[in-house]
Structure 1
Amino acid sequence: GLLIMGLGSVLAAVFAVVVSRTISRPILELSQVVGRLEEGELAVRADQDAGGEIGHLQAGVNRMALSLEQNHSLLQQRIREATEDLEQKKQEAELANMAKSRFLASVSHDLRQPMHALGLFTELLNQQLSDAQQLAIVQRMQTSVTELEGMFNVLLDLSKLDAGAVQPNFRDFDLKPYLRRLWEEYSPQAEQKGIALKVRLASAGTHSDSMLLTRIMSNLIANAVHYTQQGGVLVACRRRKDHWLLQVWDSGIGIAPENLPRIFEEYYQVGNPERNRRHGMGLGLAIVAKLARLLGHELQVHSRLGRGTVFSLKLPIAHLVAQPVAAAMAGPVVGFSGQRILVIDDDPDVLDSMAALLANWGLRPLLAASLEAAWPVLEQLEAAPDAVLSDFRLPGRIDGLVTIERLRERYGASLPAALISGDTAPENVARMNASGLAILHKPVAPAKLHELLAGLLAQA
């Protein structure tokens, strides 16, 4: 009996070892393989060393692993292709945008020249004509010229923003005087429409770029006045816990909810399917949004159709140091009585229009297309000019800055001079700004030119 029991135990042990080697171990290994597949090790495979059903199971797991690996590789390839395609399209869009910006920037000087001359010629006609019917035609021409200049400037602003050519100049300043100037600029338009433009003036120190922030507010106020037929427009600055909330409220037509997400898109206009140019080009709010992002100021809009709209800007708070108020000193009023003005520009139409307008103002224009051409004119004069107006971009390698420098070397550093430029290349604009010279950008309004000349002659 003992012998039989011992033999049974031996057989049981042998059977257990066989079961372990042929069934348990392969199943445990398969379980480990499946676990590693779940963890992303798709290259792992099971050993196919078993026969029967276990062998079929090992082969099935390996087929599944191969399928997973192939599908994963295919998915990765498709993701790479989609990413590359997206990146290529992004680069193509950026290149197209840069090409558009470069085109606008490169032709801006050439486009500004005839617009500048046209504006001066129409002002000259306005001063010389006396017939009421003819004057009405000239005034309509002036309106069209002003609209053309406005559209061109908007396009150029957008191109400079897209090209990254606008760099903010952050500083601490008080909002109050800037809001006052905006009220002075737009209140006549509001009064003409019979609506009220109110600005709540209070000192509010902030940290931003005053010129770019003023441009944002100018666009928002202009839009509010344009789309408000009754009621009014309110500009207010309210203090919150850690920021200023600068807002433009209007009681205008409002914006439908479905249109709100698109109002900051370029060329998008609500309610202007016929693209009436008197309603603008649909770029004002796009420029506002781009400038707000550039300055890091959060921009929000809320509107109710038929009730009005409010645009809000969040501005940082800056604590300003009180500055002593200097006594106002009025400069002398200078009359135009034959003062000699040297005008240097390589565009014949600009020279002709400047000559006619300056002569009509009682000045004596001296004309030259370059510094080299100016020397004989000045030698005949046998004296220094009373003031110099030079274009920046001139023929050859001598630009307007060098031209004025050479003239001052001969006639003295105090020679009154200014630049009138149509050049918008960032590096050239930076050079002009660094020169300390007065600068007017073409096309120049005749009133601005008159003001500039009065200031220059007051220095003489």
Structure 2
Amino acid sequence: MAGVLGGSSAALVMDSVLQGRDLALDEVFNLVDEASSKIILSQDMLRGAIEHAYEGMSVVDQELNLVAWNHKYSELYQYPAGFLKEGMPIDEVVRFNAKRGFCGVGEIEEQVNKRVQHMINGTPHVSERERQDGKVIKIQGNPMPGGGFVMTFTDITQYREHAKALQEVNDSLEARVKERTYELAMLNSQLLESKAQEEMANASKSKFLAAVGHDLMQPLNAARLFTASLAQYPHLDQESKTTLSHVNSSLKIAGELLTDLLDISKLDSGVVDLNRRDFAISELLDGLAVEFAAMAQDYQIKFSMVPSTASINSDLSLLRRILQNFLTNAYRYAKGNRVLLGCRHRGEHLEIQVLDTGCGIDESEISEIFKEFKRLDNPTSKSVSGLGLGLAIADRISKVLEHDIKVGSILGRGSVFSISVPLGKTITEIQVKKTAAMIQPLAGVKVLCIDNEEAILAGLESLLSRWQCEVICATDLADARIKLGLKGVAPDIVLADYHLDNGENGVDAMDGIRALYGSHLPGVLITANTNKELVDEVELKGYRYMAKMVKPAALRALISSLVK
């Protein structure tokens, strides 16, 4: 009764019956009229809601007859005017669609029976159908309480087109990954047409290099480990030694080029960390003098350095990188001439200068030399390797340090590159000559190496074995536990790459090994990832960080210091 008359009207009738009071006929009519009006209003509201729905909708009663639909549904399926009727058996509608190919491939009656059976069983379902006209329709069906079935139909054609386009872009990028360095250079040349395009190119390049840096560094790192191991083989003939030297030199150049690209990416993304402090300029100049004096003979350079007792305030590592680029540039373009490294006091600043007597630079081209991938067109440059990034990196680092760079040059006579650095507090006691750490013999040291790249593991095992270490290689934490258990040994030190398979990383792997063998166990994370948060995490946990490409001598010294 409540379902017909409504709750309040049904309560009134029951109350009259219980009290033995008769209801007047007009009162009964009023109750029925009121209930009918509410039902009609509810039906109108339901029809209005269905009609204004974003998706196409159709409603089937428990007798499998069509009782409601909206214009969107009729439009999606292109029904002829007047085709859809209230009370129409739903199998006729499905059959009409199947004959037009809207239900896919197969026998028409089989398609009809399959869809009608879903409604009979009250089975919820979701599917997508790509029609012959190219439209993609998402179909969702759900049973209604008390019987019946409601269906929604959504045109997702545009969404699928966008998804397909994105997938095609992704597939294209993967296919072109082998050409990424070449395409990056091409991208820069194409996007230098305007300032806005240049900014887009820089953003794209930074993300691109950060993503591929690890993949590019891995094979180079493995090759360096192998060549370092071979170089220590005692029975190499002279021809093999010469070939190995050439290979090692080529790998060094490749590593430097990649480092330059990654440095540009890091500087562009603004993640360079500063460590400003007061230090004696001799800390910087003495090291550079040793490094470049050793290279002078190869370049036929007469190199000299004028010492200074001044103190400056800067980031020693970043400032060294700038001066290394100045000196490297001078060596390349002043072959057979003189190069001088020295300083001049300029008020509250110290101007560090690199002078050469090379080919010089035309005044009109000085502003060009600090641009990326820019190399001046002169006879000397044709024999010079590199991408033209060294001075671009120096310029960007100087902006981070807020140090001014100046260039002076006379074509045919030479150049002077200088950087102005604030003077620091006077340092009265300076250890000019640092005592080299004693390199401990590594014979018998048990080294656990964790890396997901077989080539890296093979290179490490070969190199460490030359140092008479006992090497255990594993691809992840689980593999390491198994191999250590089988050997019945505890490692003296762990060397781990950061990026492992299945979402694992080297820091967690070293944590897992420490959990087994004690928190005192030293570990070294070897990675091309220079993210500051990662470096801080490594140091906070008491591990050591080593950037790729690995220098064998540095690796040996680090292991020696940690296991002594």
* Residue in structure 2 matched with residue 102 of structure 1 by the alignment: 207
* Residue in structure 2 matched with residue 313 of structure 1 by the alignment: 419
Match runs of 1:108-257 below 5 Å? 108-128=213-233, 130-257=236-363
Alpha-carbon distance in 2 for matches of 1:89, 1:257: 25
Query: Which of these residues, 266, 281, 291, is aligned with residue 397 of structure 2?
Result: 291
Does the 8 Å CA contact 1:230/1:251 hold for their aligned counterparts?
A: no
SS at match of 1:279: coil
Output one character per residue of 1:27-85: Cα deviation in whole Å (capped at 9) or x when no partner.
xxxxxxxxxxxxxxxxxxxxxxxxxxxxxxxxxxxxxxxxxxxxxxxxxxxxxxxxxxx
* Change over 3 Å in CA distance of 1:436–1:302 after alignment to 2: farther
AA aligned to 1:312 is S
SS at match of 1:418: strand
| 1:110 Cα deviation from its structure 2 partner | 1.1
Residue 445 of structure 2 corresponds to residue 339 of structure 1: yes
SS at match of 1:245: strand
| 1:395 Cα deviation from its structure 2 partner | 2.6
* Residue in structure 2 matched with residue 383 of structure 1 by the alignment: 489
* Residue in structure 2 matched with residue 360 of structure 1 by the alignment: 466
SS at match of 1:234: strand
SS at match of 1:315: strand
Alpha-carbon distance in 2 for matches of 1:169, 1:381: 44
Output one character per residue of 1:108-146: Cα deviation in whole Å (capped at 9) or x when no partner.
111111111111222333334623333332222212111
* Residue in structure 1 matched with residue 387 of structure 2 by the alignment: 281
Does the 8 Å CA contact 1:109/1:424 hold for their aligned counterparts?
A: no
AA aligned to 2:363 is P
AA aligned to 1:151 is L
SS at match of 2:529: coil
Which segment is superposed worse, 178-187 or 403-412? 403-412
Alpha-carbon distance in 1 for matches of 2:387, 2:490: 47
Alpha-carbon distance in 1 for matches of 2:539, 2:439: 27
Unaligned runs of 5+ in 2: 1-192
AA aligned to 2:277 is R
* Residue in structure 1 matched with residue 198 of structure 2 by the alignment: 93
* Change over 3 Å in CA distance of 1:89–1:431 after alignment to 2: farther
SS at match of 2:232: helix
| 1:328 Cα deviation from its structure 2 partner | 7.0
| 1:435 Cα deviation from its structure 2 partner | 4.4
* Change over 3 Å in CA distance of 1:257–1:134 after alignment to 2: same
* Change over 3 Å in CA distance of 1:276–1:314 after alignment to 2: same
* Change over 3 Å in CA distance of 1:184–1:350 after alignment to 2: same
More contact order relative to length (CA 8 Å, sep ≥ 6): 1
| 1:425 Cα deviation from its structure 2 partner | 3.6
* Residue in structure 1 matched with residue 33 of structure 2 by the alignment: none
| 1:283 Cα deviation from its structure 2 partner | 1.0
| 1:174 Cα deviation from its structure 2 partner | 1.9
Alpha-carbon distance in 2 for matches of 1:333, 1:428: 28
Alpha-carbon distance in 2 for matches of 1:317, 1:397: 48
Residue 529 of structure 2 corresponds to residue 428 of structure 1: no
SS at match of 1:259: helix
AA aligned to 2:488 is E
TM-score normalised by length of structure 2: 0.61
| 1:186 Cα deviation from its structure 2 partner | 0.5
| 1:271 Cα deviation from its structure 2 partner | 3.1
* Residue in structure 1 matched with residue 520 of structure 2 by the alignment: 414
* Change over 3 Å in CA distance of 1:221–1:275 after alignment to 2: closer
Identity %: 34
Does the 8 Å CA contact 1:119/1:145 hold for their aligned counterparts?
A: yes
| 1:304 Cα deviation from its structure 2 partner | 0.7
The size of the alignment, in residue pairs, is 371
Match runs of 1:248-267 below 5 Å? 248-267=354-373
What is the aligned-residue RMSD (CA, Å)? 2.6
| 1:382 Cα deviation from its structure 2 partner | 2.8
| 1:298 Cα deviation from its structure 2 partner | 1.1
SS at match of 1:226: helix
* Change over 3 Å in CA distance of 1:411–1:154 after alignment to 2: same
AA aligned to 1:122 is T
Does the 8 Å CA contact 2:271/2:532 hold for their aligned counterparts?
A: yes
SS at match of 1:246: strand
Query: Which of these residues, 428, 431, 437, is aligned with residue 322 of structure 1?
Result: 428
* Change over 3 Å in CA distance of 1:172–1:306 after alignment to 2: same
Does the 8 Å CA contact 2:333/2:381 hold for their aligned counterparts?
A: no
TM-score normalised by length of structure 1: 0.74
Output one character per residue of 1:351-397: Cα deviation in whole Å (capped at 9) or x when no partner.
11111222222111101111121111122233321211111222345
| 1:320 Cα deviation from its structure 2 partner | 3.3
Output one character per residue of 1:335-354: Cα deviation in whole Å (capped at 9) or x when no partner.
23232110011111111111
| 1:334 Cα deviation from its structure 2 partner | 1.9
Which segment is superposed worse, 116-125 or 342-351? 116-125
Match runs of 1:32-111 below 5 Å? 90-111=195-216
AA aligned to 1:258 is S
AA aligned to 1:96 is A
* Change over 3 Å in CA distance of 1:243–1:277 after alignment to 2: same
Alpha-carbon distance in 2 for matches of 1:324, 1:269: 40
Residue 518 of structure 2 corresponds to residue 403 of structure 1: no
| 1:231 Cα deviation from its structure 2 partner | 4.1
Unaligned runs of 5+ in 1: 1-87
| 1:221 Cα deviation from its structure 2 partner | 1.1
